[in-house]
Structure 1
Amino acid sequence: MKFRKSLIVCVAVLGVVGCSSNNAPISSANNPTMADQSTVVNNSVFFDFNSSDVSNKYNKLITVNASYLIAHPNSRVQVQGNSSEVGTSNYNQSLGMQRANSVKDALVKAGVNTNQISVISFGNTKLLYPSNDKGLQPKNQRADIVYTSIPPFQYKLNKLPTIDTSTMQ
């Protein structure tokens, strides 16, 4: 009789424990829809007017992309240099190429194999923002890092390429 009572208590306890719910939050690392929005960034380097120098504020972006490319040697990027409409077409084409090469050089300096990177200049032919808006014009002065093969998880190419830095390991 005592055994039967113990068995009933054990079954009841197991039933309660087995039916309980673990409502622990799902980790954003395992659930891409919950990725922290602060880790989603433009995969572009923006430049000062008439400059092709990569600012130190882009070190993290360069490092994140370099780490991914080193870890994925079959992955490829195309660095696309752009400029605003100010100046001649020839000058802007040249400036766009200088910007693309500056980003490529930064990636190579961070350890990326040069065979993983191609460069192209669009000069002022791919303006994303109106040239008559001086506030937005500097956003045309950029180099976009576009993955052409084996992109990182959550990589997107809409108006500008974006990456989720929390998923690039």
Structure 2
Amino acid sequence: MLRTYLLVSAAALLAACSTTPTQPVAESKPAAPAAAPAKPAAPAPAAEVLPPHRDPNSELSKNNAVYFAYDKYVIEDKYKATVDLHAKYLVAHPELNVRLEGNADERGSREYNLALGNKRATAVQSALGLLGVKASQMEAVSFGEDKPLAIGHDEDSWAQNRRTDIVYPQR
């Protein structure tokens, strides 16, 4: 009998818990305090500003090569603006150094191409020097045919490889 009574009591208790009220119970909430004046949002951390010689979208980065005609090391008029741009920047930033990397296409012997790359790098170095860049800011090196931009064996590829790159440090 006791057992039956416990079963009936448990069933009644469970049934009482499963019913939902037909009307929502209104809750009384205390009145909200007056809104405090909003604090200005903290400024978002500023994005790192890169100096022009390290910013890939700057004119210095986009125009960092002087191209040459076949077997030549004279700077053509169309590249004098590039040299001038870098000269003005280097004069304004005497703490910076550049490496002038002379290159040649694959035609010619290894020794000849190293010498031609050196003449091209030295031509850009001389032009920068005439525009006021200190000799101590520049280093001319030659890669000859060892650092091609284009690997094809046609005039378009060779033209891309006949150049001097103006390379700033990655500090």
TM-score (normalizing by structure 1): 0.64
Q: Which has the higher contact order (CA 8 A, sep 6+)?
A: 1
Q: Does 1:105 align with 2:105?
A: no
Once residues 105 and 168 of structure 2 are traced to their aligned partners in structure 1, the CA distance between those partners, rounded to angstroms, is 23
**1:79·1:119 contact (CA, 8 Å) conserved in 2?**
yes
What percent identity do the matched residue pairs reach? 37
Q: Which amino acid in structure 1 is aligned with residue 111 of structure 2?
A: N
Residues 29-44 of structure 1 correspond to what in structure 2 (within 5 A)?
A: 39=59, 41-44=62-65
2:91 maps to 70
Once residues 135 and 147 of structure 1 are traced to their aligned partners in structure 2, the CA distance between those partners, rounded to angstroms, is 26
Question: Which residue among 85, 90, 99 is the counterpart of 2:106?
Answer: 85
Alignment deviations for residues 29-72 of structure 1 (CA, whole Å, 9 cap, x no partner): xxx9xx9x795633000000000001111121111111111111
Once residues 97 and 87 of structure 2 are traced to their aligned partners in structure 1, the CA distance between those partners, rounded to angstroms, is 11
Q: Does 1:118 align with 2:101?
A: no
Once residues 103 and 115 of structure 1 are traced to their aligned partners in structure 2, the CA distance between those partners, rounded to angstroms, is 14
- Tell me, what secondary structure is at the counterpart of 1:136? helix
1:135 maps to 156
**5+ long unaligned stretches in structure 1:** 1-31, 151-169
Once residues 131 and 85 of structure 1 are traced to their aligned partners in structure 2, the CA distance between those partners, rounded to angstroms, is 10
Normalized per residue, which structure has more strand?
Answer: 1
Extract structure 1 runs of 4+ deviating beyond 4 A: 37-40
Number of aligned positions between the proteins: 117
Q: Which amino acid in structure 2 is aligned with residue 120 of structure 1?
A: V
**5+ long unaligned stretches in structure 2:** 1-51
Q: CA deviation at 1:149?
A: 6.2
Alignment deviations for residues 117-155 of structure 1 (CA, whole Å, 9 cap, x no partner): 0010000011121241322211100000001267xxxxx
**1:130·1:136 contact (CA, 8 Å) conserved in 2?**
yes
**1:82·1:123 contact (CA, 8 Å) conserved in 2?**
yes
Q: Does 1:50 align with 2:71?
A: yes
**1:75·1:149 contact (CA, 8 Å) conserved in 2?**
no
Q: Which amino acid in structure 1 is aligned with residue 125 of structure 2?
A: K
Alignment deviations for residues 71-92 of structure 1 (CA, whole Å, 9 cap, x no partner): 1110000000000000000000
RMSD between aligned residues: 2.3
